[in-house]
Amino acid sequence: MTVDPKLNSTEDALTLARVYRTARNYRRAEEVLRSALVHNPQDAILLTELAFTQHLGGDNAAAEQTVGSALQAAPELVYPMRVYASILDEQGHRREAVSWARRAVNADPLDGPSQYEYARILLNAGDAEGALPAVTEALRLQPADADSHNLRGMVLSGLGRSAESMAAYQEALRLQPEHAMALHNIAVNQLHGRKLSSALSGFRQAARLDPAIGDLARQNITATVHKWLSWTTILAWAALNISVRMQHEGEPPTPGPRIVAGCAAVLLLGLFAWLARSLPWTTWRSMLINRQRKFLPLKLYVGLGVFVVVVLGAFALGAPIGYWYMLSALLITVVVSWVAPWIESRTGK
């Protein structure tokens, strides 16, 4: 490995490494930092930056070892404490992560990033109430930080204060209009508030802005589609139920049930057409061919929708579909409307 001739100081190395890291070129950022460490092997800031880069690149084992060296070189330095807390949190060691984040805050209560990290880790540990004072202090120290406003929104959402959380997300977007996570979190609030069309649009926009949250956005897009399709099962159940009740066993279908069935089929087709146009075909395809169990409810809903539209449409057009066929379709609808949410709850969406 050769040292970049343009790097005349440690500060140059840190600046270049951060540029590469912002571009998510973690391998090149690590090379720059290792080059600088050849000349300053005990530099705690360089070691911490290297650990942070390794952490972002997914190599938490190496990151933990590197940040340990930084802490040995400078035990009282806040930055490696904060990075170590983040690494522990990523590994699921919540208690130790909270302890190290608290240690960083105690070492320098006026360090905004440490207050932010402490609040974030407390929220991940399920302590939204404890996270609120920390994120409030982080915002007092760095009021123009969009990430801190976004985190405050997440904390308030965890406390059930939806309106305040929306205001915090909006402030994050005012400071940074392309803040993908704030957009995503607004969409989550809209999903919980049953504003499904807005939520779907928000998730898609967030995924376009930041591919790193693409998987999370796709999961929530799937959850939004689940809600839309679960509503269609209610409509399908009602239409089939009315048609069955208005029809008499052993008799041909009368105009009343046929009109009800036809209106329901048209409405269901409209809902499906809107959903189909709301998402690109590639997104639909990726969800429908995915073999993970969490996508099974979606497939059940789509299959049920197609089945019910065909049954209702055929019945409305006068096809010889008897009473027991309609009753069977109703029972299938009821079963799917119970089974799909159960699978969804078991797989965590």
Domain termination site, one of 183, 211, 238: 183
Residue 147 lies in a domain: yes
Same domain, 276 and 139: no
Same domain, 162 and 235: no
Residue 46 lies in a domain: yes
Same domain, 100 and 174: yes
Same domain, 14 and 132: yes
Supply the pLDDT for residue 188. Answer: 92
Supply the pLDDT for residue 180. Answer: 93
Same domain, 120 and 170: yes
Contact yes or no for 51/66 (Cβ under 8 A)? yes
Q: Between the ranges 105-114, 264-273, 331-340, where is the mean pLDDT highest?
A: 105-114
Supply 234's token pair: 């209610």
- Which of 81-90, 173-182, 303-312 has the weakest average pLDDT? 303-312
pLDDT, greater one: 4 or 51:
51
Residue 191 lies in a domain: no
- Tell me the CB-side half-sphere exposure of residue 289, using CA atoms within 13 A: 6
Same domain, 225 and 176: no
Domain termination site, one of 183, 199, 233: 183
Supply 276's token pair: 């189909």
Residue 188 lies in a domain: no
Same domain, 137 and 238: no
CATH number at residue 32: 1.25.40.10
Domain termination site, one of 183, 211, 241: 183
Same domain, 178 and 250: no
142-170 pLDDT, tens per residue?
A: 999 999 999 999 999 999 999 999 999 99
Look at the chain and report how many structural domains it folds into: 2
Same domain, 248 and 168: no
Count CB atoms within 10 A of the CB of residue 31.
17
Q: How far is CA 287 from the centre of its chain?
A: 16
Same domain, 65 and 167: yes
> What DSSP state is assigned to residue 9?
S
Between CA 103 and CA 291 the distance in angstroms is 44
For 21, the 3-state DSSP assignment is helix
Residue 2 lies in a domain: no
Residue 176 lies in a domain: yes
Contact yes or no for 55/84 (Cβ under 8 A)? no
Residue 83 lies in a domain: yes
Report the percentage of the chain scoring pLDDT > 90. Answer: 49
Between CA 18 and CA 7 the distance in angstroms is 13
Same domain, 254 and 130: no
Residue 228 lies in a domain: yes
Domain that holds residue 324: 221-347
Backbone angles phi, psi at 45, to 5 degrees: -70, -45
Between CA 80 and CA 51 the distance in angstroms is 9
Average pLDDT over residues 33-48: 93
Contact yes or no for 254/244 (Cβ under 8 A)? no
Supply 122's token pair: 């407390």
Average pLDDT over residues 82-106: 95
- Which of 28-32, 86-90, 98-102, 264-268 has the weakest average pLDDT? 264-268
Taking each continuous run of H as one helix and of E as one strand, the counts in the chain are 17, 0
